[in-house]
Amino acid sequence: MATVKMWIRPFTRLHKVPVFQRVWLYLALMGLYTLAVDLLSGNFPVALFKEAGAAGACGGIVLGILLVFRTNSAYERWWEGRKLWGELTNNSRNLCMKIRSLVNVPHAEKIHFAELIISFSYALKHHLRGTDTSEPLPGVGELTEEESKHVPLHIAKRMYDIIADWQQQGHLDQNTLLIIDVHARSFMDICGGCERIKSSPIAVSYRAFMRQGIALNLLAWPWYLTQLFSVWWTIPPMLIGAYFLIGIELIAEDIEEPFGKEGDDLPLDDICANIKSTVNSIFQIQRNLKYTTTISKPRTDLLKDKVHTT
């Protein structure tokens, strides 16, 4: 019974599927367009559209292959981003546990370091989304204009400054420093990996080419399908085909930039909250500090609206 529900649920909750919330308007337009083509196609030679149908079928196969490549490329970016944030979670935990057990400093200093670890995850989230926090992050305080340009880098520098002070004061021997450094340096490695995903999107020409191919195929379909079937038999397969073609492109568009706030993006808020909860548990921090409130910044994309906010 549970298996049956698993297959039925995507249809009964279709309105909650992120891609359907964006694609339904395109489907409505395709239905109206198909009706209009049915009214106009009687004025044109029928044989022409039947011949075009064979060519359109071949073009559809090629387009399908390209869509598979497009989706796989986008999903690889999404999955790599997920692995990087998983590494951040693991290294945050391991660094906290080793500092708690191996570093002989007052507990207040460990708490301050723990706040920096949590703040790093929130700062990285905002850095990747192109947003600002409405108030200073705990353990970080007010930042200068130069520091605010790359908050994760500034926090990582502070973490290394504290580790260096502990070493100079004799709280860290060389072996312990090496053990801690493995996790500390991973923070900026993860940040760099995420920045690489964000700053190198799939080529604009390729994305434009795919959308042109999808649009031309959808515009051509009704002209030869309405010659073979009644318009009322044509509309259902037209809408199903349009749903998958447009939907796959929209999904790929979402997941190729996995650090946003859309339904198919990575749950960065949940991951940050999980890091915060784990670190608080390791150091038994009782106070519940507020780590983030988002202020949007504009960003641009050549194939989207000129300016929009995240």
Positions in the chain whose pLDDT score sits under 70: 1-2, 14-15, 42-60, 228, 286-310
pLDDT at 310: 36
What integer pLDDT is reported at residue 16 of this predicted model? 72
Q: Which helix (H) or strand (E) holds 185?
A: none
Contacts 24+ apart (CB under 8 A), 229-236: 231/34, 231/35, 231/38, 234/34, 234/38, 235/31, 235/34, 235/35
pLDDT in tens, 106-164: 988 999 999 999 999 999 999 999 888 777 888 887 888 888 889 999 999 999 999 99
The H or E element containing residue 150 is none
14-24 burial, b if ≥16 CB within 10 A, otherwise e?
A: eeeeebbebbe
Q: Which two tokens stand for residue 66?
A: 């390209």
Contact 147, 158 (CB under 8 A): no
Residue 81 structure tokens? 């981003």
Structure tokens at 238: 């037209």
Structure tokens, 77: 């970016």
DSSP 8-state code for residue 173: -
Give the Cα separation of 241 and 18 in Å (integer).
18
Residue 245: phi and psi, rounded to 5, are -65, -50
What is d(CA 297, CA 295) in angstroms, rounded to the nearest whole number? 7
Domain layout of the chain by residue ranges: 21-38+46-309
Angle at 184 between CA 182 and CA 187, to 5 degrees: 110
Evaluate whether 49 touches 57 at the Cβ level (below 8 Å).
no
Q: What is the pLDDT of residue 307?
A: 39
Rounded Cα gap, residues 300 and 123, in angstroms:
21
pLDDT score at 226? 72
User: What percentage of the chain exceeds 90 in pLDDT?
Assistant: 32
Phi and psi angles of residue 9, each rounded to the nearest 5 degrees, phi first? -55, -40
- Give how far the C-alpha of residue 144 lies from the chain's centroid of Cα atoms, to the nearest Å: 29
